[in-house]
Chains A and B, each alone.
Chain A
Amino acid sequence: MSDTHAQTVAFVRDTMLPPEAPPTTQAGAVKWMRENLFSGWLSAILTVLSLLAVIGIVYELAPWLLNSVWNANSLTECRAILDGASGACWAVIRVNWLQLMFGFYPSDLYWRPILAFVLLIVAVAPVLFPSVPRKLMWFSVVYPFIAVWLLWGGSVWGPVMVLLGLAVLGLFIMRAAEPLGTVPTSAMAVVLFLALFFNPPGWFNLDLGIFPIVQNIADLLGGIIPIELRPVPSREFGGFMISIVIGVAGIALSLPLGILFALGRQSNMPLIKWISVTFIEFIRGVPLITLLFTASLLLNYFLPPGTNFDLILRVIIMVTLFATAYMAEVIRGGLAALPRGQYEAADALGLDYWKAQRLIIMPQALKISIPGIVNTFIGLFKDTTLVVFIGILDPIGRASAIRATSDWQGIYWELFIFIGAVFFVFCFSMSRYSMYLERRLKTDHR
């Protein structure tokens, strides 16, 4: 009998109903399959077809993978071991593993790139994860200089003096900006920068013997206290090491530069706005490969004679500029999504432009732009493989070189699957991290 008294208008429940388990058709695997795989004729047919396709692919690939050969010194040896059966010859990776990783980097110095990579993880951790102590952040700042020294070698005083020079420059800008005003400070900062770092022959016809200060002090100190690593020239770099060097440098530099250009594009100072727009539109309108050829071939014609710009440095600059233009547009999208009220509230509280940007606008704009930013990062990292066209032996370049040897002529699937898999690991990690970051930063509509 029901406890609702249909005849009476007023109703008070006197017993509460306990929850019951749902009927079997409403739960478990059967329900899931019926809803997701066989909800109608069309879906049933598509399910069966997809199943057949998966079985077909596995049927074709399984023997190839199961018959993998790991120990052989050439493709002929592989084929002899397989004896006519179809099978993957992963031995090519095993034999050429170190070359794929380091290119022609001197093998007795492999510890240097490995140490640099381990330190990279330490340097990146405080930036990526809030649980890592903030104090480690100083290491993230110093790391680029350590990495350059470890990878290229030479006197320790070069990187140390560049770091100190930048610190002096930064300190000057911070101290001088308030009392002197923005424009004189910027002008003096540029002069200071040139004095510290630059003297391409012919730029200054001043024989004062003080340009460039950083180089001279570094040479002086190197004479007194020689701390040196064996120098390794850029042409010996290669393999995944070069992809990571270019990719990490490009990623680390393109984000701050992208922010500046995004702000520049929104600036109400005509000159800054005009420079930003021209830069962004020009770089976006030109294929990366053109920029890379410019870096490798043409740049030397434009620079004063006698300057020798390292090829990897030139490539890093071009890749960074390319990613910067895209980054600037992605961040501009984030800025445009912010309501005007946020700017007004920051203004009304008396925050100046840079403080408002840093504390209010950018944290929100960057959060909105995370998917686009990571998209650009992933694109940049994969685009590093284009350097093969200007003669840098990145993994693709190494793979071609390996395939050109008599031992491995005719092999390609294994090499490119391997390279693809390594790139996938990096790019997929970036993608997952960005999703974690989005979740962590989600503070609205909770």
Chain B
Amino acid sequence: METMETAAVNRSQMKVSDEVAIQITNMNKWYGTFHVLRDINLTVNRGERIVIAGPSGSGKSTMIRCINRLEEHQKGTIIVDGTELSSDLKNIDKVRSEVGMVFQHFNLFPHLTILENCTLAPIWVRKIPKKEAEETAMHFLEKVKIPEQAHKYPGQLSGGQQQRVAIARSLCMRPRIMLFDEPTSALDPEMIKEVLDTMIQLAEEGMTMLCVTHEMGFAQAVANRVIFMDQGQIVEQNEPYEFFNNPQSERTKLFLSQILGH
């Protein structure tokens, strides 16, 4: 496997605290009669960077989408930042405004400029004055290195730039947890690195991150835990070095040999 150029990630700053950020207990989900997620148990501490890997259809996207209730779970509990996700809309809105999400297909709002994309939620959800929201937005756009695109529309940007805007848009809400749902899967190889660099920078600042990705280099460099899912279940979890060099389950060994073999 190709070692990532960014392997020299400064891990010393990435401190994991004892405080629990997300607690998932015995969570089950069905699509109709299809049992997609089976008995998921997962505790994420503040500051943890977790990479979730697994074959397609294994339920990894569905699982992180349950964390901000884009998908509804039918059994078990999910507690995010002390708030339990139930059908109570107030709790859902509270969790959603604390949890940022980055999608595979960016999902920027095409009718708004980059700046408006970034200020919309702070203004309408957080009720922050427009001027202040714009300053915050410019701060984060500078951080993802595209302040000069602020007044363009998403359709005028490259895929990598759009994804960095999507990250900035989430950060503008000052989330305490970030979810990434295959953030680099829709990107050209050249653009993957610019997005991963942004994510690494975020990890170095101590953000709690859950990331569904196939970028194993990123997992090795940044994650402090790798979770392997198959058939809606967590099959194995371990810290990255052990996970890649000493996988325990047969399914994990097979998966790793397939994606790392060439």
Contacts and interface: CB of A to CB of B under 8 A. Distances in A.
Interface of A: 339, 341-342, 344-345, 347-352, 355, 359-360, 363-364, 367, 441, 443-446
23 contacts: A341-B106, A341-B107, A345-B107, A345-B109, A347-B68, A347-B96, A348-B68, A348-B103, A349-B97, A349-B121, A349-B125, A350-B96, A355-B125, A359-B120, A359-B124, A363-B111, A443-B111, A443-B112, A443-B153, A443-B155, A444-B154, A446-B153, A446-B155
Contacts of A441: 111
Given A345-B103, A355-B124, A364-B109, 4 more contacts: A339-B105, A341-B106, A350-B96, A351-B125
B124 A446 contact: no
Nearest to B89: A352
B172 to A, nearest CB: 9
Contacts of A347: 68, 70, 96
Nearest to B71: A344
Interface of B: 68, 70, 89, 93, 96-97, 99-101, 103, 105-112, 120-121, 124-125, 153-156, 169-170, 173
A268 to B, nearest CB: 12
A349 B173 contact: yes
Contact of A352 (B93, B154, B170, B173): B93
- CB-CB nearest 5 A-B residue pairs: A350-B97, A345-B107, A341-B107, A349-B121, A350-B96
Contacts of B121: 349-351
A355 B125 CA distance: 9
B163 to A, nearest CB: 13
Given A347-B70, A350-B96, A351-B124, A367 B107 contact: no
Contacts of B124: 351, 355, 359
A344 B120 CA distance: 15
A355 B97 CA distance: 14
B111 A350 contact: no
B117 to A, nearest CB: 9
A386 to B, nearest CB: 37
Contacts of B68: 347-348
B107 A350 contact: no
A444 B93 contact: no
Nearest to A358: B124
A350 B173 contact: yes
A444 B155 contact: yes
Nearest to B103: A341
Nearest to B169: A349
Contacts of B99: 348
Contact of B120 (A349, A367, A444): A349
A441 B154 CA distance: 14
Contacts of A350: 93, 96-97, 121, 125, 173
A369 to B, nearest CB: 13
A341 B104 CA distance: 10
Contact of B70 (A339, A344, A360): A344
A344 B96 CA distance: 11
A237 B76 CA distance: 67
Contact of A360 (B89, B109, B125): B109
Contacts of B153: 443-444, 446
Nearest to B121: A349
Contacts of A363: 111
B110 A349 contact: no
Contacts of A344: 70, 103, 107
A187 B185 CA distance: 48
A342 B96 contact: no
Contact of B155 (A349, A359, A445): A445
B110 A444 contact: yes
Contacts of B70: 344, 347-348
Contacts of A446: 153, 155-156
A443 B152 CA distance: 9
Contacts of A355: 124-125
Contact of A349 (B89, B96, B105, B154): B96
A446 B113 CA distance: 13
Contacts of A351: 120-121, 124-125
Contacts of A352: 89, 93
Nearest to A445: B155
A355 B120 CA distance: 10
B103 A364 contact: no
A440 to B, nearest CB: 12
B89 to A, nearest CB: 8
Most chain B beta-carbon neighbours within 10 Å: one of A345, A352, A360:
A345
Contacts of B110: 364, 443-444
B221 to A, nearest CB: 26
A332 B47 CA distance: 44
A232 to B, nearest CB: 44
Nearest to B93: A350
Contacts of A345: 101, 103, 107-109
Contact of A364 (B106, B107, B111): B111
Contacts of B125: 349-351, 355
Nearest to B99: A348
A344 B110 CA distance: 14
Of the candidates A341, A348, A443, the one having the most CB atoms from chain B within 10 angstroms of its own CB is A348
Contacts of B106: 341
A444 B100 CA distance: 25
A349 B101 CA distance: 8
A446 to B, nearest CB: 6
Contacts of A348: 68, 70, 96, 99-101, 103, 170
Of the candidates B99, B111, B154, B170, the one having the most CB atoms from chain A within 10 angstroms of its own CB is B111
Contacts of A349: 96-97, 120-121, 125, 169-170, 173
A344 B170 CA distance: 13
Contacts of A339: 105, 107
B259 to A, nearest CB: 26
A352 B91 CA distance: 12
A446 B101 CA distance: 27
* Most-contacted residue by chain A among B107, B154, B155, B173 (CB, 10 A): B107
